[in-house]
């Protein structure tokens, strides 16, 4: 806020009255009218303004053609603050003396007091035309031009005034204020600097000088003068606000916060500060209060798109993407061609997961800045999220050729597109395409062990055991302690009966992490394959010592005991599972198998019924029920359970065996009926 002081017009009124006194000496009013006039002067000297006005009204009744009477009465109305009657009186005087410059000035003064600056300005212009040598009138013209925001005219008249009165400090100050309004900061600085140098102790324009210094980024001096301003006037909220802005530019954010709070303490309605205060609050992470201040600002300044944009960025950081979108769209409604607004809107759509709108909006941003690689990169990522992998890959590959700055981001985006396309290809059964894509990934990142693992699994799926193993060995050579690589290698070796190699790798995993119970179970599984049951039992028990609720360890330990025909021990381990997972269909299933081994078919039937009550899709439960019912000569129940098994199983070999059983059972049933 720029300070402006109106120069006093008392001198002008005195000049007007001195001229009027001259007119009195020549007036041809009657003796009676003159008596009332003189009485009015006496009453005025005693400040009996209403009596004086009454005297003049009586004089006017006697001699209505005397301009001096109206002029004098106008001045008295001014004294009591009755602007309308003052104006009427001066205008009546002007009808009688239209070329009286001082009357025009008096009329201008009244208009100015009524804040009718346009008519005041016109009155001063008429006075200037009549009496151009009265140079003090320039300050009246300058003041009203300033108040009408005609700053160029104000500057012109202040200069003319100062050419006649070069020592008038207030005129210099007001001229500097005009320069501030026209953003001619250098001329303003020159005036303030000279005024301060000439008379430091009498200098009053600390606030304006500080603001001018702030605008030219002379921050240390700006802070110095703004501090003087608030020391001189502790209620100068505008200087506190400008001092806060200076502090922000100096990166002294804590001090800025204090000065903003001082400004709002003095003037809670300092709306022009809300925007910058909100910016500071947002920068400091005080988002809730920043949002409040931006909204306060918008209430009075609804057409500033930056306020909506800044609100959008806060909501975006808070991951409130729908609110962010709302405010970015409001900013764009006010400034549709703004690149930043469009780009951040696109990013918010992207972060919200609305990839279609994100791509559309990224394209709009590219209309404003077609070479912006960040936008192109984000668009490619959004296309990837839409599974438009070929489009995304095409963009990433073009970017790699020309964008050095974002090289790593582009590579990562391209790799992500290759990987996701490979995953989709694998799901659709196109293993060759998936393999080709993973191999392309390795062209850009040959140290990514996850890619080697995925590629190895694909080679194994496609029946290429050697390539599968070689890929993993390459990864293991690069990173001998990568647990995922070692684990995958050990599993593939186990699946291909490379049991010694598999054991070595599981043992290596245990050495790398002795607390991971799964490694002991995997090692035990290899020992089971080798029929080394004692070693298997030791490792299953080790896993259970680390995790007493490890269901698979109990089940597999039970299986080993079952292989050894230790039915009682097997039943114990399977039952242990039910202590912490009473709905384990696998535990009930294996307990049922133990009862089959003991030919306890009724107990077995009970357990298998429990299995299918927990999981009606558990196909082997129906198969085993069929066996039990067949053994107990319940052919109808056996037949229905076998049929249910066939409808559920994917095991073609077992399905054939059971279909043969179904045929036999059907024949037996037919023979029985005969």
Q: Based on the fold, state whether residues 27 and 148 are members of the same structural domain.
A: yes
- 575 lies in a domain? no
Q: Based on the fold, state whether residues 281 and 149 are members of the same structural domain.
A: no
| Residue 5 pLDDT | 53
| CA–CA distance, 567 with 582 (Å, rounded to integer) | 21
Q: Based on the fold, state whether residues 131 and 6 are members of the same structural domain.
A: yes
Task: Say if residue 16's pLDDT is above 50.
Answer: no
| Residue 272 pLDDT | 84
User: 36: domain CATH number?
Assistant: 1.25.40.10
Long-range contacts of 583-591 (CB under 8 A, 24+ apart): 583/614, 584/551, 585/610, 585/611, 585/614, 585/615, 585/618, 585/621, 586/551, 586/555, 587/551, 587/554, 587/555, 588/614, 589/618, 589/620, 589/621, 589/624, 590/555, 590/558, 590/559, 590/562
Q: Which residue has the tokens 């077992």?
A: 654
Q: Based on the fold, state whether residues 6 and 155 are members of the same structural domain.
A: yes
| Residue 14 pLDDT | 39
Rounded alpha-carbon distances, angstroms, from residue 198 to 193, 226, 325: 9, 19, 56
- 504 lies in a domain? yes
Q: Based on the fold, state whether residues 451 and 346 are members of the same structural domain.
A: no
Last residue of a domain, one of 486, 513, 540: 513
Q: Based on the fold, state whether residues 50 and 150 are members of the same structural domain.
A: yes
Please give the residue range of the domain that contains residue 145.
Answer: 1-162
- 589 lies in a domain? no
| Residue 6 pLDDT | 55
* Mean pLDDT to the nearest integer, 400-416: 83
458-470 pLDDT, tens digit each:
998 898 988 888 8
Task: Say if residue 27's pLDDT is above 90.
Answer: no
258-272 pLDDT, tens digit each:
999 999 999 998 888
- 566 lies in a domain? no
Q: Based on the fold, state whether residues 35 and 139 are members of the same structural domain.
A: yes
| Residue 10 pLDDT | 40
- 167 lies in a domain? no
Last residue of a domain, one of 127, 147, 162: 162
Mean pLDDT of the chain: 92
Task: Say if residue 674's pLDDT is above 60.
Answer: no
187-239 pLDDT, tens digit each:
999 999 999 999 999 999 999 999 999 999 999 999 999 999 999 999 999 99
Number of domains in the chain: 4
| Residue 3 pLDDT | 56
**pLDDT band (50, 70, 90) for residue 179:** very high
Q: Based on the fold, state whether residues 360 and 462 are members of the same structural domain.
A: no
497-543 pLDDT, tens digit each:
999 999 999 999 999 999 999 999 999 999 999 999 999 999 999 99
How many CA atoms does the CB half-sphere of 41 hold within 13 Å? 12
271-312 pLDDT, tens digit each:
889 889 999 999 989 999 999 999 999 998 899 999 999 999
- 144 lies in a domain? yes
- 574 lies in a domain? no
Q: Based on the fold, state whether residues 355 and 467 are members of the same structural domain.
A: no
Q: Based on the fold, state whether residues 343 and 460 are members of the same structural domain.
A: no
Higher pLDDT, 368 or 2: 368
* Mean pLDDT to the nearest integer, 602-625: 97
| Residue 424 pLDDT | 94
| Residue 26 pLDDT | 42
Percent of the chain with pLDDT strictly greater than 70: 95
- 568 lies in a domain? no
* Mean pLDDT to the nearest integer, 561-582: 96
Last residue of a domain, one of 162, 187, 222: 162
């Amino acid at each position: 806020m720029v300070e402006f002081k109106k120069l006093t017009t008392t001198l002008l009124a005195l000049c007007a009255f001195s001229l009027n006194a001259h007119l009195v000496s020549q007036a041809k009013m009657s003796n009676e009218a003159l008596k009332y006039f003189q009485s009015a002067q006496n009453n005025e000297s005693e400040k009996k303004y209403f009596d004086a006005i009454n005297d003049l009204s009586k004089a006017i009744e006697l001699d209505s053609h005397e301009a001096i009477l109206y002029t004098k009465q106008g001045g008295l109305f001014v004294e009591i603050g009755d602007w309308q009657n003052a104006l009427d009186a001066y205008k009546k005087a002007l009808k009688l003396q239209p070329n009286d410059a001082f009357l025009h000035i008096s009329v201008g003064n009244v208009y100015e007091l009524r804040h009718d600056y346009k008519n005041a300005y016109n009155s001063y212009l008429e006075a200037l035309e009549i009496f151009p040598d009265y140079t003090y009138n320039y300050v009246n013209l300058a003041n009203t031009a300033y108040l009408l925001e005609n700053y160029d005219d104000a500057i012109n008249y202040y200069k003319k005034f100062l050419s006649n009165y070069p020592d008038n400090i207030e005129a210099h100050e007001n001229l500097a204020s005009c320069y501030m309004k026209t953003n001619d900061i250098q001329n303003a600085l020159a005036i303030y600097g000279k005024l301060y140098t000439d008379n430091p102790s009498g200098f009053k324009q600390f606030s304006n000088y500080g603001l001018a210094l702030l605008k030219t980024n002379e921050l240390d001096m700006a802070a110095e003068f703004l501090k003087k301003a608030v020391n001189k006037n502790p209620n100068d909220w505008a200087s506190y606000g400008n001092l806060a802005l200076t502090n922000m530019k100096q990166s002294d954010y804590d001090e800025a916060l204090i000065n903003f709070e001082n400004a709002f303490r003095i003037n809670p309605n300092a709306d022009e500060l809300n925007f910058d205060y909100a910016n500071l609050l947002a920068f400091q992470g005080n988002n809730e209060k920043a949002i409040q201040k931006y909204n306060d600002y918008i209430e009075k300044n609804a057409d500033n798109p930056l306020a909506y944009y800044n609100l959008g960025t806060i909501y975006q950081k808070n991951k409130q993407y729908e609110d962010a979108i709302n405010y970015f769209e409001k900013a764009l409604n006010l400034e549709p061609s703004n690149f930043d607004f469009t780009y951040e809107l696109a990013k918010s759509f992207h972060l919200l997961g609305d990839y279609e709108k994100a791509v559309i909006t990224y394209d709009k941003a590219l209309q404003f800045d077609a070479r912006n690689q960040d936008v192109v990169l984000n668009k490619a990522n959004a296309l990837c999220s839409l599974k438009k992998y070929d489009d995304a890959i095409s963009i990433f590959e073009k970017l790699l050729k020309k964008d050095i700055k974002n090289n790593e981001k582009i590579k990562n985006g391209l790799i992500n597109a290759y990987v996701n396309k490979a995953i989709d290809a694998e799901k659709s059964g196109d293993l060759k395409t998936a393999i080709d894509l993973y191999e392309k990934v390795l062209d850009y990142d040959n140290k990514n062990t996850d890619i080697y693992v995925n590629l190895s699994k694909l080679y194994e799926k496609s029946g290429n055991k050697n390539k599968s193993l070689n890929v993993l060995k390459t990864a293991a050579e690069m990173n001998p302690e990568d647990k995922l690589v070692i684990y995958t290698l050990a599993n593939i070796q186990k699946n291909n009966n490379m049991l010694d190699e598999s054991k070595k790798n599981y043992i290596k995993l245990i050495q790398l992490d002795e607390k991971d119970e799964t490694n002991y179970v995997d090692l035990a599984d290899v020992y089971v394959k080798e029929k080394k049951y004692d070693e298997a039992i030791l490792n299953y028990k080790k896993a259970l010592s680390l995790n007493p609720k490890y269901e698979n360890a109990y089940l597999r330990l039970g299986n080993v005991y079952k292989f050894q025909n230790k039915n009682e021990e097997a039943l114990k381990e399977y039952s242990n599972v039910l202590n912490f997972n009473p709905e384990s269909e696998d535990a009930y299933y294996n307990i049922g198998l133990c009862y089959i081994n003991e030919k306890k078919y009724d107990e077995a039937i009970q357990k298998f019924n429990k299995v299918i009550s927990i999981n009606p899709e558990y196909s082997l439960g129906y198969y085993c029920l069929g066996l039990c019912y067949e053994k107990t000569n319940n052919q109808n129940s056996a037949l229905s359970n076998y049929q249910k098994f066939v409808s559920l199983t994917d095991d073609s070999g077992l399905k054939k065996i059971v279909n043969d059983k179904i045929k036999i059972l059907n024949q037996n049933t037919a023979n029985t009926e005969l």
